[in-house]
Structures are given as C-alpha cells and as structure tokens.
Amino acid sequence: MRDQERADRLFHALSDATRRDIVRRTMQHDHSVSALARHYPMSFAAVQKHVAVLDRAGLVTKRREGRERLVRGNVDAIRRAHFVLDELEAMWRGRLDRFGEVLAEHPDQGEGR
C-alpha cells in the first residue's frame, strides 16, 4: 500500500469520534468488541464495523483469546499519524518563514499603500 493510501485510511479512521474513543480505550488495555460495545449507544454490529475500519487503518490489532476477539491499540500507527502531521507543520512553518522574509525585504509594502 502506498504511503498516501495509508495516510488516507489512517485519517479517515480518526475522523470519527467513536473510533477515536475506541483507539483511546484500546491504548490503555485490550478490550473485547462486546466490552467496547457497552460504552456506545449503538449496536454491537456498528461497533464491530468501527473496529474493522480501525483495523484496516492499522490503528488497532485483533487477536483471538478463547471465544473472544480482543482489540489492542497500535502505537506505531499513532506515531505514523504524528509523523505526517509533523511534516505538514514543517511545510506550514516554512511558508510562514518565507512570508516573513518577503515582508522583511519590502517593509514599505506592508503598510497598506
């Protein structure tokens, strides 16, 4: 999978408040999907779909323990999201720095003339 596709899946998954909450909960400790479903005013199937989106994005992993599927948050995926945001911030800061340089070169242009 290309980096762009991976980032798209990651940020799509994080765009939903329920999914962000599931990630928070599963970063603290493993949860079964049924235990997660008790926290939300939606069906078990709806929570299962949220977990599937998170799993496809790599934000959680699932493992079988007995009859249950336990969900665990993936800190590496959070680091990837952080890295992408850091890159965007660096580009933004670079543009601001260049804008400041242009203003410094032409101080009379910023006076509204």
Number of Cβ within 10 Å of residue 37's Cβ equals: 18
What domains can you pick out in the chain, each with its CATH number?
3-111 (1.10.10.10)
Strand arrangement, sheet containing 60-65: 31-32, 68-73, 60-65
pLDDT digits (tens, 9 = 90+) for 38-97: 999 999 999 999 999 999 999 999 999 999 999 999 999 999 888 888 887 787 777 776
Per the CB < 8 A criterion, the answer to whether 63 and 79 are in contact is no
- pTM, 2 dp: 0.76
Between strands 68-73 and 31-32, the pairing is antiparallel
